[in-house]
Structure 1
Amino acid sequence: MLEHNTFGLFNCEDGLPDYAYSYEEAINNKPPYLSDFEVLRVRTKFQKEGIRKNNISVEEQKKMLADGKEPEEINYEGTDLEKKVSNKGTNALIVQEFMEECIKDNNGTIPGKTIFFAMTKKHARRLEEVFNDFYPEYKGQFAKVIVSDDPRVYRKGGLLDQFVNNDMPRIAISVDMLDTGIDVREIVNLVFAKPIFSYTKFWQMIGRGTRLLDPVKKKPWCVKKDKFLIIDCWDNFEYFQMNPKGKEDKPTKAMPVRLFETRLNKLDLAEHLGEEALVVKITEQIKKDIAKLPKNNVVILDANSKLEKLNDGFWQNLKEEKKIFLRKEITPLMRTRTGEDFDSMSFEINVLNLSIAKLQVSEKQEKRIEMLSEVIIEKVSDLPLEVNTVAKEKELIDAVLNNGYVQKADEEDLDVLIEKLAPLMRFREEGIRPEQDELNLKDVTIEKGYIEFGPHNERLTIQKYKEKVEELIKKLAEENEILQRIKQGEQLDTDDVEELANTLMQYEPYPTEKNLQKAYDARQVRFVDLIKYIMGIGGLVTFSDKVSEAFAEFIATHNTLTAKQIQFLQTLQTFIIENGRLEKKDLINEPFTRIHRLGIRGLFTPNEQEEILEFTNNLLTHA
């Protein structure tokens, strides 16, 4: 949808910025300091529904058989695109939509400067290939992959220099490199061709287009820049509106420091509870951490006098002053431990914190146990069993993924989790997968933020369509007898409403009940009531308002929901508002799989899933 509310996206009240000088102020200043943007949401059929035999045409299936592929074996979720499977038709469609909708140069034929944000380097190369296939007249100069490990990028006159200073290439296809730091004022289009999980990176990517273009310094091939366009192919704006902090939780302290501090916290608690065996075990773990400090590091060499105090006598009776010494003098040294398996450390910290919560019996800790258990289960669920090293622990992994195992685990069980599964976490981030399946199936666009109207299927953004409708109603209200009767509060009969509808259909933008319902987010509101609202007579409870109110009540009445479950329901709320529909299969696809890789199945029991579906079906029927 080509609309946005910057305050809402930043999770601020309208008109009340959180910072001394907000982005909204920067774009509204006279003259503005930053460029504003519009967002066009585009989704394809395969992104939404996945790729399976039942949604591939008979003709396409015949082609697959001719190519030696078995349609019966094709079964991919939308989230598998450019991970487990690549479909040339989907990439081609994204390029076509971009070329049709982008802000173009002064000749109106080709795009202004653009960054495509791709998922992987292979994905970037495939997009480049599509551009080259579609536009052979540019001889490979139209779009270029710009990635950090390409030696052609940085040198004088290299790819980056060409993109910044020359007419061609018009399109830079990037994987991470151009997300931050680059300052190209001429950029007028950004294409989010990948899902984004980090709120910080999300806004850094948007920032690539916000720099103003000085008209005096405008190059001959530059288009005038009063705004830029973001084409969002993966519902990233929808995700961050309901998840304003995103999925990432980047630590401010080095991972080894956090691990050491967590051990000290557990040591304090074990001593307080009189758990002598546990104290001995944790003390040995702390000593092992210290032994791993890099002895030739300059920081460690400077701290030798402190480390020499940690002799055998130091550990025999750990009084309070000794623990203070460990926290104050030794903990900071842990930051020198580099080149280690930080994924393993992160998992161990989660398990240690769960152990601490289990030792502290209280209602508050019950919630924390539940939350930490979810984190651990989610990390374990991400382990790829196709990796042999991981597969050896399949029995333990399956046990962890069974409901209740982690929450019921005792101290010994948690030690086993650390010993067996922490070393496997390094496989989780990369998500090592089998070779990608490559398909060439025609894809179609199923979602787009426009209103189509009139005999020639003209299109306008929703905001522009509303402006035209309101301008038309205002103009006709001065002379149209039925509109004047509405203004005077008279009731209309069926014939009056039909006559008014026919009259309005004689003028652009040819407003119909269906288009007005879409434009004003009012699915169940009748034509005449929408006209009244446009004329300023009476209010309008939007579909969004009804959905938001219903979800707020649902969450309030289910007061045992975890933070992850609430996050899921808030995302579901946004999904319904944005799409106006819901199918069961949607709940195991994006954006829900960003919260848990299994979607609704990973967070709710079968009975809870049915309750949520019944609630949403009822809401969609009556809202």
Structure 2
Amino acid sequence: MQELEIYTSEGGGGATRERARVRGASRFADYALLLRGKPAAVVEAKKTSRDARLGQEQALQYAEQLQRIHPGTLPLVLYTNGYDTFFWDSESFPPEKVHGFPARDDLEWLIQSRQDRRPLSVELINTNVAGRDYQIEAVRTVLDAIESHRKKFLLAMATGTGKTRTAVALVDVLQRARWVKRVLFLVDRIALQEQALSAFKEHLPASPRWPEQGETRFDRNRRIYVTTYPTMLNLIHAGTTPATWISPFFFDLIIADESHRSIYNIYQQVIRYFHGYTMGLTATPRDHVDHDTFALFDCPTGEPTFAYGFDEAVNHDPPYLCDFGVLKVRTKFQVEGIRGPKLGEGEREQLELEGLDLDTIDFEGTDLERKVANSGTNALIVREFMEESIKDSTGVLPGKSIFFAVSISHARRLQDLFDQFYPEHRGRLARVIVSDDSRVHGKGGLLDQFKTQDMPRVAISVDMLDTGVDIREVVNLVFAEPVYSYVKFWQMIGRGTRVLESDQAQRRPWCTEKDRFLIIDCWGNFEYFDIHPQGRAPGQQIPMPVLLFRARVDQLAAAAAAGDLDLAELIKADLRADI
């Protein structure tokens, strides 16, 4: 008879020591983790000077021996040398390196789930959540992969095809079938957090969510957690006590929204920290997803777990996405070559190695930003937009529109021009919507007004509305900034691809019809990325200098009407120079 040291793992990584005797054991494990007096896991501890993986087979043999002594589920296996720790659920997956031990609650769920989970192949998908054929196929593809003992998945679905709804439908199946208890949904900005929380609340009301409005303290008793990458990273780093520690086994499923290189260069450690199933969502066309993203989700390069592209969605009958036309406005920035040369792939990779993220270039305070913000070309862009944009049913006002500006000061300048040229709208036609403005977020905020109210019609944004914000009624996009990332460019285009509700009664009065949307490109972005969509000719072919001169005359009239004599004199000087 030999004595076996047994530990019961507690939350926070602590332990309560117990003693137990095992008859007939010819060998013994270093540690065992007990649940209700029965071994749930064994731990093989090697010296720090030895490879932890030398304990793999030993630990498995101990687990099998304990199963013979205590009939039931095969205990889980962990082996470590103090630096590296490996976890092995030998009934389900190969061994994997983990960042720590499971807490007692995690261990209990891992064992209980083994016994309770139902076959995924017979579980029904809720088509009220994700009812389109490709969404059902996407969910079923992931479920089949899980039953084939895979743990990582990547869905490449065009912007507007319902990635979030697809993810919610998957979560619904996995929670009902007892494969998953707690889910982490990661986003890269607060606006997307609010949007995802709303989707889970609508479709999975019985699954408690964190955070609720105004909630900041982490709560361990929820089922759905939606947060930004930096917030989750901070929570992990802050876990230095049993009360604040978040176990690597806390989440059973991690969903990473907007999965592309710019996110993972900084925050992939969040995804790698947790042990559960991991699924990435990306709107990037599969042939432009970088190999690092495929590798992170254990997918061969160019082969996501599931893909559904823009062309497939547009060509479906009826269409799932709106196609677009492009109006190219040749501004003086292009004429003067301010944008700069196109970067080759080698140059792009070198810049990324040096820490420059092409998805998040900040123009604030640069010479380019100053030239753009102060240029008379902005007046031309505003006037051209008001003449050429897709209008509402009255044919007078533009439909819902997004301007992508170079910087906040550029955005403010554009808003000022709308107010000067169209004072009859009393400052409500166009509004700047940027993330550092406290008035933007929440019910009744500027973003909510843009989504749900008649005014404003024009949202002028710097980065905030580039990705993930779903507004079906957007019919005009204005690229008043240069874009250098192909991934970001398609995400921005996706702001206009949503189709309207099929039920006419549910449509907004300012957008009752939408079969296409318009992109006004002021920076030659389509040429930059060598994309050749269907173009749209301007309503009148007037030379740019003439349009610019007319716009300045309009500015002069607006300045005079407002009594701004200093501005009027500056505009007069520009007009004389033009002449």
Query: Under a length normalisation based on structure 1, what TM-score does the superposition of the two structures give?
Result: 0.32
Query: Under a length normalisation based on structure 2, what TM-score does the superposition of the two structures give?
Result: 0.34
Question: Which structure carries more helix by proportion?
Answer: 1
Question: Which structure carries more strand by proportion?
Answer: 2
Name which structure has the greater RCO, CA cutoff 8 Å, separation 6+.
1
